[in-house]
């Protein structure tokens, strides 16, 4: 099955931001956590404000933080500490609205490890947040395309002093990033593992949220998805196939470790299987893929969802039935 909607944009320009603990910031010249660099379409003030509003920090309890010894033994530490993915709208203090697609890679050690500077070898807290900033609200397919095309920086995620890409991002004088664009073709998105229940959960959550309060009986519910980190791309590809009616305003964070629910300004969180924080499931629509049989809680069934499930099982693109969900949403 492929995306067949001819009206979906196939290319989006975006600006870039890198935020990390580095040897030198592009705007202050100081070392430590802050704005490393950005592309010319943003001012340093805008870039810093976007990072602070987008909530892309990678936070761990002290006992769970990795050390230099861990990354020496396992340079691809992302296998143990999956990256955080964020997709949300940010309104700047000047009134400008932007959309942010971000990946936060846990790199454990400060820049001293990568530059062999003993005085800057603090363990455990460092991360590299790479944010793509869109002036035009992107189709969620753009996020899936950025993952598939390895657009997030660094592309080489091996945490070693020999990794020239990471050294460039953390050590020495910062270089401005270029303005970029993400391009994708419908043929790039043939359906692989279609997570039908996730699609149904999202449909339900969006339906309930739109209609909450209209008759005083429907309570708005948001979506919690439990997955293994290896399934995140499948989830994003699934969302990219849903009708734009549903996903146009979707905001989410994936690989969340410590939320007990969905923050007010998000529609969905994706919780990893290793998460030990109790989720208040009774308040959300929950789709759990970490059990032997997928578990769905608080799913409101309707003839629309039966048709979506049938289409998925028959391999028919959801885009062809977008008018049905439009009618349901009204």
With a cut of 90, say whether residue 100 has pLDDT above it.
Answer: yes
Is 143 among the domain residues?
A: yes
For residue 144, give its domain range: 11-183
pLDDT given at position 187: 45
Q: Which of 199 and 228 is assigned the larger pLDDT? A: 228
pLDDT given at position 212: 54
With a cut of 50, say whether residue 330 has pLDDT above it.
Answer: no
Q: Which residue, 155, 183, 211, sits at the end of a domain?
A: 183
Is 2 among the domain residues?
A: no
Sign of the dihedral defined by the CA atoms of residues 313, 319, 324, 329, in that order: positive
As a whole number of angstroms, the distance between CA 278 and CA 262 comes to 12
Q: 229 and 165 share a domain?
A: no
Peptide bond into 154 cis (omega under 30): yes
Q: 35 and 143 share a domain?
A: yes
pLDDT band at residue 228, thresholds of 50, 70 and 90?
confident
pLDDT given at position 47: 98
Q: 284 and 200 share a domain?
A: yes
Q: Which of 248 and 86 is assigned the larger pLDDT? A: 86
Q: Which residue, 183, 203, 221, sits at the end of a domain?
A: 183
Q: Which of 327 and 242 is assigned the larger pLDDT? A: 242
Angle between helices 303-314 and 196-211 (to 10 degrees): 150
Write down the residue that tokens 């460092």 correspond to: 126
Q: 24 and 158 share a domain?
A: yes
With a cut of 90, say whether residue 314 has pLDDT above it.
Answer: no
Q: Which two structure tokens, joined as six digits, stand for 165?
A: 């890409």
The tally of domains found in the chain comes to 2
Tell which residue, 213, 68, 72, has the closest CA to residue 126.
68
pLDDT (mean) for 270-296: 75
DSSP state for residue 164 in the 8-state scheme: H
Q: How far is CA 253 from CA 124, 186, 225, 321, in A?
A: 22, 25, 10, 27
Q: What is the phi/psi pair of residue 75, to 5°?
A: -60, -30
Q: Which of 321 and 184 is assigned the larger pLDDT? A: 184
With a cut of 70, say whether residue 48 has pLDDT above it.
Answer: yes
Q: Which residue, 125, 152, 183, sits at the end of a domain?
A: 183
Q: 177 and 199 share a domain?
A: no
Q: pLDDT by residue (tens digit) across 140-151?
A: 778 888 888 899
Q: Give me the helices (H) in 13-149, please.
A: 44-54, 68-73, 111-115, 141-148
Three-state DSSP class for residue 29: coil
Write down the residue that tokens 């203090």 correspond to: 93
Is 6 among the domain residues?
A: no
As a whole number of angstroms, the distance between CA 85 and CA 294 comes to 23
pLDDT given at position 98: 97
Is 16 among the domain residues?
A: yes
Is 104 among the domain residues?
A: yes
pLDDT given at position 122: 86
Please, what is the average pLDDT of the chain? 79
Q: Which two structure tokens, joined as six digits, stand for 287?
A: 């789709």
Q: pLDDT by residue (tens digit) across 32-45?
A: 999 999 999 999 99
Q: 54 and 90 share a domain?
A: yes
Write down the residue that tokens 């296998």 correspond to: 79
Q: Give me the helices (H) in 6-67, please.
A: 44-54
pLDDT given at position 4: 43
With a cut of 60, say whether residue 219 has pLDDT above it.
Answer: no
% of residues, the chain, pLDDT over 90? 41
Q: 168 and 227 share a domain?
A: no
With a cut of 90, say whether residue 167 has pLDDT above it.
Answer: yes
pLDDT given at position 154: 97
The model's pTM = 0.82
The HSE-up count of residue 51 (CA atoms within 13 Å, CB side) is 26
pLDDT (mean) for 92-98: 95
pLDDT band at residue 165, thresholds of 50, 70 and 90?
very high
In a 10 Å sphere around its CB, with 0-12 CB exposed, 13-18 middle and 19+ buried, how is residue 139 labelled? buried
As a whole number of angstroms, the distance between CA 209 and CA 264 comes to 12
Three-state DSSP class for residue 96: coil
């Amino acid at each position: 099955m492929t995306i067949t909607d001819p009206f979906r944009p196939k290319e989006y320009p975006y600006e870039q931001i890198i935020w990390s603990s580095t040897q030198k910031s592009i705007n202050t010249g100081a070392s430590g956590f802050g704005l490393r660099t950005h592309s010319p379409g943003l001012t340093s003030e805008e870039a810093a404000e976007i990072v602070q509003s987008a909530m892309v920090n990678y936070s761990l309890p002290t006992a769970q933080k990795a050390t230099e010894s861990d990354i020496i033994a396992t340079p691809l530490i992302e296998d143990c500490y999956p990256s955080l993915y964020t997709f949300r709208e940010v309104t700047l203090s000047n009134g400008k609205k932007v959309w942010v697609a971000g990946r936060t890679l846990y790199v454990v050690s400060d820049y001293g490890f990568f530059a062999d500077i003993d005085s800057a070898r603090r363990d455990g807290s460092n991360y590299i947040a790479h944010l793509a900033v869109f002036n035009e609200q992107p189709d969620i397919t753009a996020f899936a395309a950025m993952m598939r095309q390895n657009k997030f920086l660094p592309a080489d995620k091996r945490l070693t002093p020999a990794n020239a890409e990471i050294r460039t991002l953390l050590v020495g004088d910062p270089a401005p990033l270029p303005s970029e664009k993400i391009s994708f073709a419908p043929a790039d998105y043939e359906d692989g593992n279609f997570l039908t229940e996730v699609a149904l959960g999202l449909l339900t959550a969006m339906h309930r949220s739109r209609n909450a309060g209209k008759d005083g009986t429907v309570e708005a519910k948001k979506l919690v998805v439990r997955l293994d980190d290896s399934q995140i791309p499948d989830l994003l590809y699934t969302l990219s196939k849903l009708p734009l009616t549903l996903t146009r305003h979707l905001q989410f964070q994936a690989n969340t470790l410590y939320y007990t629910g969905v923050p007010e300004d998000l529609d969905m969180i994706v919780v990893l299987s290793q998460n030990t924080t109790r989720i208040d499931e009774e308040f959300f629509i929950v789709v759990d893929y970490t059990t032997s049989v997928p578990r769905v809680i608080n799913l409101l069934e309707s003839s629309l969802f039966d048709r979506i499930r049938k289409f998925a099982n028959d391999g028919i693109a959801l885009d062809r039935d977008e008018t049905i969900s439009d009618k349901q949403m009204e």
